[in-house]
Amino acid sequence: MTSAVSSAGPLIHLAQAGCLDLLMTLFEKVVIPPAVYHEAIEVGLEQGRPDAVILDQEMKHDRICVDSAVDMSKLQVSSDKLHKGELEAIALALTRRPDAVLLDDEEARVLARALGLTVMGTLGVLVENVSRRKVTRDKAKTILDSLNDVMYLSSDVYALARKRVDEITD
């Protein structure tokens, strides 16, 4: 079974852009720590956010699940710059050893890679779907624009993602 551990950002961004299904085509199960559940779903539902409703539905279908067995001692690092959810996601990934840990924050990505984890972000999910022929390049560009509307992408990051999509051969 393919699995991923996720921080809140990729889940929220994909749900807000209406393309959470991209994640589910790559991973049979997405596991989240309690802090991510709180941030992405509990708080979102309290605020009436549509993305939280979508994520909650995925939990009801058992495609997203919470794993409370987060062992922060495996991390042996603390950071004032990372959110609790990112730290818990990295610690959980160190325990579970999923196919990927989903992180958008650059500092979290650097830390996870330094700890030997395979990292994928929101844009990586999109590019991987194109490379696996689950999404056409034209559709990917439309999705990239939707993601750009719901998350901060510098012009360099946007251009790099678009270039990677264009470089995938048929």
Report how far apart, in Å, the C-alpha atoms of 9 and of each of 95, 98, 149, 157 are.
21, 18, 14, 16
Q: Would you state the structure tokens that stand for residue 94, as one six-digit string?
A: 């160190």
At 77 the pLDDT is 65
Whether the pLDDT of residue 151 is over 80: the answer is yes
pLDDT at 141 over 70: yes
Are 54 and 22 within 8 A, CB to CB? no
Whole-prediction pTM value? 0.93
The residues, any chain, with a CB within 8 Å of residue 41's CB and separated by 6 or more, are: 52, 55, 56, 59
- Using pLDDT thresholds of 50, 70 and 90, give the confidence band for residue 24: very high
Neighbours of 119 (CB within 10 A): 19
Report whether pLDDT(14) > 90.
yes
| pLDDT above 70 for 94 | yes
Question: What is the structure's pLDDT at 25?
Answer: 95
Averaged pLDDT, 78-83: 76
Q: Which domains does the chain have, with CATH numbers?
A: 3-123 (3.40.50.1010)
Residue 75 has pLDDT above 80, yes or no: no
Phi/psi for 4 (5° steps) reads -140, 150
Residue indicated by tokens 């720590």: 33
- d(C-alpha 68, C-alpha 76), whole Å: 18
Residue 68 has a pLDDT of 87
